[in-house]
Chain A
Amino acid sequence: MALIDQLEPVFTELVDLIGQLAGNEAAWSVLDGEETRPLQDGWYRESGYFTVPGPYGFDTPALYVGMHPSHPDFFDAEVTNAQREQIVQDAITQVWNEAHDSWTNSAVVTVYRSVTRNIWEPDPARMSPGVAELGDLTRWLSDQLKPSAGWAAPGDPIAPAWLNDLQHHWPATSASPQSFYAFWNDVNDKCSLYLHAAARLASTSAQVTATMSDFQTNLLEATERARDQAKEALQQWQAWKDDSGAWPTGELEDNSTEKVILGGISYATGVISLYPPAAVIAGPISVLTGTATYLVDDKSVVMEVLQAATASEIHNGFLNDLKEMESNQTKALDAVRTEPPHDDSTTASQGFSSYAADVTANHQDWTPPDVVF
């Protein structure tokens, strides 16, 4: 399943939860309004009992403005205090639904999709077979350097018999093909150059694939964390109304043990040391095995959303988290592009980008010699 197909339902769920928080906040503004309304003579604050709607709804005692029994009009009033309580309740229900719908009917899901496009749109699974293929190429080139490959001049002990025979018994009708022998003898030398390039191509492709795969995993996990945070905020509303604690103002939990989200990836050394060129020559490598192998503890970035409790804070915090994640993926790929692999198996002690420039610049030197018969 494509990542976006897993991601979008969680985005949708999160926005619904944010909408519920906004509903609670709107409902509370109604009750706050009742508690702060100036009282005229003969009016007082009466205790009522109200229901905040929604899947995470709750009942709560609160004060509303009612007519005091000492008020001269009390017994003739067209509206009873019970009706006044119901009016407040209706207002709560209405503003809750309006606030909630303003989120669920908004384009926020599209915004989340849009800012994370660079993470979810590529498909690392489509790259993985290519990485394996480049690994095969690397090891095949490595095999060409072995004596048994037979890339040698005629007469050399490792040269194949037919090549020796060809030279010894060359037809008298034609000149000896020295350029062909030189070409044949040079193939392994050229393959050793190609081997370095193939090893770096394979290892860098592996690093890029693993980086992108990990950011996809992180994006999904981060979105699930944001959703859980919104749920927890709603549950705190419920708990708070049960007189069990103070208003949730963030700091809901210690995030210091969280290492898997956002900052869990070591942008340079981790992924590069996991897939160095030498590893490619040594044997097949797996690039889609997941994140846990190279998390670096001291690089955790605390998600902003995990410090948030209100609807707008959660939305803004999550949006900032998504933007940061997107820019971190770019930084991670920058590091793969520029950091040297620190790997003795290749002559390259330079970043991949400058190595690629060298390979292109060396095109002529790396071209096999011409053969003229």
Chain B
Amino acid sequence: MSVIDIKMSAIYGAAHDVLPTQAADFKAKADGITGAIEPIVAEVSLAGNHPIAGDLADIGTELFLHLRELVRTFNDSAVALDRIADDFVNVDDEAAAWFAQHQNYLGDPDTPAEPTAPVV
């Protein structure tokens, strides 16, 4: 593997594969929290509006917010790395030649949408 190959594969791979995959994993878990906590809180509320429903909702929502923040950071980082790589391709002949052979990295990374926040 040539140095340019290692260099370009690392940054484009991170932008287009590694980070979107991590984002998708964390998004799935964040969506899972929403799917879990909403019915749990709804049913506990039927048990005489017991205050433990609020505690469950609080922790579920906090966990969701933190995981969503991770998803956002993975996504933002993927986009940023892609732009840095594109900029480099624009100024470096070797990089441009490599990129011509790796058109699968054309365009923006396919980042997952944000998870859906719980309504509790």
Contacts and interface: CB of A to CB of B under 8 A. Distances in A.
Given A173-B88, A336-B52, A367 B47 contact: no
Nearest 8 CB-CB pairings of A with B: A130-B36, A169-B7, A165-B10, A118-B48, A171-B88, A356-B55, A373-B80, A133-B36
A371 B77 contact: yes
A50 to B, nearest CB: 49
A259 B102 CA distance: 72
A208 B40 contact: yes
Given A131-B40, A173-B91, A205-B40, A363 B85 contact: no
Report whether over half of chain A's contact residues are helix, strand or loop; otherwise say mixed.
Answer: helix
B32 A359 contact: no
Contact of B33 (A134, A180, A360): A134
B67 to A, nearest CB: 7
Contacts of A136: 32
Interface residues of A, number: 65
B113 interface: no
Interface of B: 3, 6-7, 9-11, 13-14, 18, 29, 32-33, 35-40, 42-44, 46-48, 50-52, 55-56, 58-60, 62-63, 65-67, 69-70, 73, 76-77, 80-81, 84-85, 87-88, 91-92, 95
Contacts of B44: 122, 127, 208, 212, 333
Given A162-B13, A201-B60, A356-B55, A190 B36 contact: no
A129 interface: yes
Contacts of A123: 43, 46
Given A118-B46, A197-B62, A359-B58, A165 B39 contact: no
8 contacts: A121-B47, A133-B36, A174-B84, A197-B62, A208-B44, A330-B50, A337-B50, A356-B55
Which of B38, B43, B46, B58 has the most A CB atoms < 10 Å from its CB?
B43
B70 A368 contact: yes
Given A337-B55, A368-B69, 4 more contacts: A122-B44, A168-B6, A174-B84, A373-B84
Given A130-B35, A169-B3, A373-B81, A118 B47 contact: yes
B70 A122 contact: no
Contacts of A356: 55-56, 58-59
B120 to A, nearest CB: 12
Given A118-B47, A368-B66, A171 B85 contact: yes
Among B14, B56, B65, B95, max chain A CB count under 10 A is at B56
A194 B63 contact: yes
